[in-house]
A and B are shown apart, each in its own frame.
Chain A
């Protein structure tokens, strides 16, 4: 009996080890393929990352405007999406009456299942015309003293792409943050309330700070989704490799560059440049993840240190 159980146990163990390492192997193969595929243009070194000319005919490749566009649209998505998501998460975990909780959670999670091409088409044919005619002119009129709200208004722009991305990352951030908040033990809330805190103070001081690492993780997952999003951004960003302070300006992103040009890239060096754009995309997401891990572990350490006081 004992031997059978241990055989089953070790079999199960090897199975999970195999499954876990398959992810690692896929990631390594992915990285290796991107590296070897981009060797012909990798020789241009940092000029590829910081150059701003993208001229496939003459084989001049620089992706700085695309990198800028990717980072800027993701940042806009976080600025708009994070407060909304956290509001949803806090409402669902702390304040919502029990019978509202599951319908709202259901709707939020359903948003995550909408294909990105649907978001893109909806954005292009419905959202962009509304923003162009009814929203951006007012932004320019009242906030036009800021350089980010100056310039010609096109409808498709960095800001439009950022807004769609915000809608797309809300379900991810909201549902993971909600789970993190629900995992906070009731003793935390009760302790704060017992010390005379109001409900909002209790949420802010004991619940949010306790769930901080989970919330930060959800935000970085949302960032990863926004940074790598392709279809919706292709349709809404305007696909113009320009670095402009104005959010009304069209821009470009790394993922949309690859989606746009890969299908018709007919020379080896051109394909290589697009693969290298994918490598840059991967490295930046990787970097963002590492930063997130470091932030989370520092948060946990500081909380542990505080709890010993």
Chain B
């Protein structure tokens, strides 16, 4: 009995139901004057469009702490954004983002535990359709970008190797098993590749990196498609001779400890640990190592598709984007379109608006590529759909 009470109390403390203890709203002194400077903070190659937010009134914030969670990949930037937005609202709105995994975030939003979630892979279309049918539509909003970096531990090789998508897929399918395979050697004529067996290392835990990489495989590799493995946060890899490791750090440990291993990690991990990354050939035939500009370019190439469907994967961009890194991916914010609490809904909408505009400038120093300005506009239109009883919080 006591145990039950203790557990209930623990859950209550961890997830307080709502944050209704503070009910007063305050007029915030921060005025949204810098709206038109927003686009200049985006380090983007594509054309600059003017942001069409017509809000000139001072937004009000309800002082509260948002409960949110999800993707571990975005956790570093989320914490920075949370503190940035807290400053922006003069301390009124705090955000408690918990890095519990994308699925935990999605489930948290659907069950009302979280006010919003961060998710690397978008929720399945059946889930979103189901909630739309229930008249509780979900908004999936691209918030920032990432890439999947390929890295390796080949004795004697310090250079950045050139690889193609089909070759990487063949390595993971164990159809290419040796480092000196003619296909790899042909792309790296100056590198002395050893005749050693490749040990592929994949993520054992469900991950947005696996989602993006396998999505890329489905677009470029006939070998991969022949297996019917599809794409997802966890897929069926060939079992023999491969290792699965938990987290990017786990993959990096397995790769560094096993000579001749190859692995993949998210760009944040790869950049911040200064891994030597493979250059992957994009559709234009250019070999690109992961870079912030390369990822933004890949995203910009999919503007029209993302306009139509925000969850469109952005792997393998068309040849017109000749500087794009081909294994790039969005991560998303997930929130109910119709909010049931006016003050809190407004805070969430304001936070989202701040993230996709002002917040983007915080990204590149932390190795998160900035959204293309075209996508910022798409996001603003999505955020403008958030409403309380039909009244939107932000005018697009």
Contact = CB atoms under 8 A, between A and B. Distances in A.
B is bound to A: yes
Nearest to B5: A22
Interface in B139-179: none
Contacts of B104: 263
A234 B199 CA distance: 19
A266 interface: yes
B244 A55 contact: no
B295 interface: no
Contacts of A25: 4
B230 A58 contact: yes
B204 A132 contact: no
Contact of B236 (A23, A55, A152): A55
A125 B243 contact: no
A197 to B, nearest CB: 47
B236 A53 contact: yes
B228 to A, nearest CB: 7
Nearest to B245: A239
A261 B204 CA distance: 8
A240 B231 contact: no
B102 interface: yes
Interface string B49-65: 00000000000000000
B360 interface: no
B80 interface: no
B230 A262 contact: no
A5 to B, nearest CB: 24
A255 B103 CA distance: 18
Contacts of A132: 257-258
Interface stretch (B26-34, B120-128, B270-278): B120-128
Contacts of B126: 267
A157 to B, nearest CB: 9
Nearest to A152: B241
A263 B204 contact: no
Interface string B195-207: 0010100001111
A53 B102 CA distance: 24
Interface string A204-242: 000000000000000000000000000000110011111
A57 interface: yes
A81 interface: no
A54 interface: yes
A22 B4 contact: yes
A54 B247 CA distance: 19
Contacts of A264: 101-103, 120-121, 205-208, 233-234
A239 B233 contact: no
Contacts of A250: 242-244
B232 interface: yes
Given A234-B205, A256-B246, A267-B124, 17 more contacts: A55-B236, A56-B235, A57-B232, A57-B234, A57-B236, A124-B253, A154-B199, A154-B254, A235-B250, A239-B245, A239-B246, A242-B240, A260-B204, A260-B234, A262-B103, A263-B205, A263-B206
24 contacts: A19-B1, A22-B4, A55-B235, A56-B232, A56-B233, A56-B236, A57-B236, A152-B197, A234-B205, A241-B239, A250-B243, A256-B204, A259-B246, A260-B205, A262-B101, A263-B100, A263-B103, A263-B205, A264-B102, A264-B234, A265-B103, A266-B106, A266-B121, A266-B124
